Amino acid sequence: MNINIDLSNLHDVVNDSFYPYLEDRNRYMVLYGGAGSGKSKFIAQKKILRILVGMGKGIHHKFLCLRKTQPSCRQSIFAEFKSIISEWNLTDLVTPNKSDMSFTFVNDSQILTGGLDDPEKLKSIQGITGVWLEEATELSLPDFRQIDLRLRGRSDSYKQIAISFNPISKLLWPYNEFFMNPKSDATVFHSTYKDNRFLDKEYIERLNKLEREDPRYYQIYTLGEWGELKAVIYNNYVIETKFPKTFKEVIYGMDFGFNDPSVLLEIGEYDSEYYIKELLYQRGLTNSDLIKKLIIMIPLKHRRNRIIYADNAEPARIEEINRAGFICKPADKSVKDGIDFCRRNKLHLDAGSNNLVKEIQSYKYKETKDGDTLEDPLKFNDHTCDSFRYALYTHYGKIRPKAQIAFA
């Protein structure tokens, strides 16, 4: 098969700091650091480039790219590969399969994406020539060990496990595995937002703002240095793979965004406990775009009996959604009272709700430079936490028992 691929403009699409690692052949390539540094995109780019180069050499690749759960993989890894394939005009060379989240190239090379909760996908690990572990701190050391052992066998090219994560805690396995006990066959590269020339200005400003808002968050997410999240707000939740089939009541929490993501959460009540599932987490949506999404996600039979609680700072958007046939009400955005109510109740989070799980795990109170905890939550990666607080506190938290007055 004669296929000519023009790779002359790689410097235009690959960040300069990462470019030398296109040639890295070590068994482990560990990319860690701050938010928005471009490390995940680079790994996806490198996987695709290895396949394209292999086409001209008769080399076939089979890459396995994993996150902890299959739904979280669909929203991140699978979406990243789709985006790059489109940006690089490779659609004629690739056949995507949305159902099993795979990509097959014209030379039969494959990219398989999935979660460690998907046994069928893991059966395909035979014949793998490379692995990517995204958000590796979500995984356990036994997860890593099993995957490492299975990347074996003869290959016409080198075998590499790419590992990417934010350094949120030295207690997690990547620190001991690659920093306390450095490996001779491991490349470790630290990056921050400064290494990503494609990052938008608004996100850069948000990252730099963390310096005066919370030193610990600034250390982890802006500087990309090892830290330890303290003063975390919620610990009253469990992550579930199965929810009850029916609920006493279902409501929705919604946070508007454009540069920030628009969020829609579905919340079911069962035995006075709350089950939360992420339906939407997407940037760049106008209100008309959002309404189209709502029409898909909320069945017609529920649009007039299930309430959406939304950010009360956007009355025009709320009114437009109501005119589209939904019941959308402004939420009570009381932060302290809302958080107090949510903390007093048992929360069940859908395991596949990637952004919800990630944000609640790092949602924390502000801290001073001296480590003192303040009363206000940090406004960073809080979109899902705002959304369920809007709904739960407005719908359930403000219901108070009638006062009982005793007369002497």
Domain assignment of residue 39, yes or no: yes
103 in the same domain as 44: yes
State pTM to two decimals.
0.76
> Quick one: 135 and 196 in the same domain?
yes
Q: What angle do CA 185, 187, 188 make, to 5 degrees?
A: 135
Q: What is the pLDDT of residues 265-316, one digit of tens each?
A: 999 999 999 999 999 999 899 999 999 999 999 999 999 999 999 999 999 9
Residues of the domain holding 72: 10-204
CATH number of the domain that residue 128 is part of: 3.40.50.300
pLDDT at 120: 65
- Do the domain assignments include residue 5? no
- Residue 109 tokens read as 């090379």
Q: What is the pLDDT of residue 116?
A: 86
- CATH number of the domain bearing residue 317: 3.30.420.280
Number of domains in the chain: 2
Q: Are residues 196 and 56 in the same domain?
A: yes
d(CA 362, CA 168): 9
Alpha-carbon gap, residue 206 to 97, rounded angstroms: 36
The pLDDT of residue 74: 87
In this structure, the strands spanning 186-191 and 237-240 are unpaired
Q: Give residue 29's identity as a one-letter amino acid code.
A: M
Mean pLDDT of the chain: 91
**Could you tell me if residue 101 is inside a domain?**
yes
- Contacts of range 22-25, beta carbons closer than 8 Å, 24 or more positions apart: 22/46, 22/49, 24/160, 24/187, 25/158, 25/160
State residue 302's pLDDT score. 96
Please state, in angstroms and as integers, the Cα–Cα distance from residue 408 to each residue in 238, 405, following that order: 47, 10
Per-residue pLDDT at 4: 60
Read off the pLDDT band of 216 (50, 70, 90): confident
Asked which of 181, 204, 227 is the last residue of a domain, the reply is: 204
Among 155, 186, 204, the domain-final residue is 204
Residues 151 and 108 in one domain: yes
Residue-wise pLDDT for 29-51, tens only, equals 999 999 999 999 999 999 999 99
Distance CA 345, CA 104 (A): 46
Domain assignment present for residue 223? The answer is: no
Give dist(CA 275, CA 380) in Å, integer. Answer: 23
Residue 316 is predicted with a pLDDT of 96
Asked whether residue 222 is domain-assigned, the answer is no
**Token match 């109501």: residue?**
322
| pLDDT number for residue 3 | 59
Whether 407 shows a pLDDT value over 60: the answer reads no
Nearest alpha-carbon partner for 35 in 337, 359, 398, 264: 359
Is residue 26 a part of any domain in this protein?
yes
Mean pLDDT along residues 236-241: 91
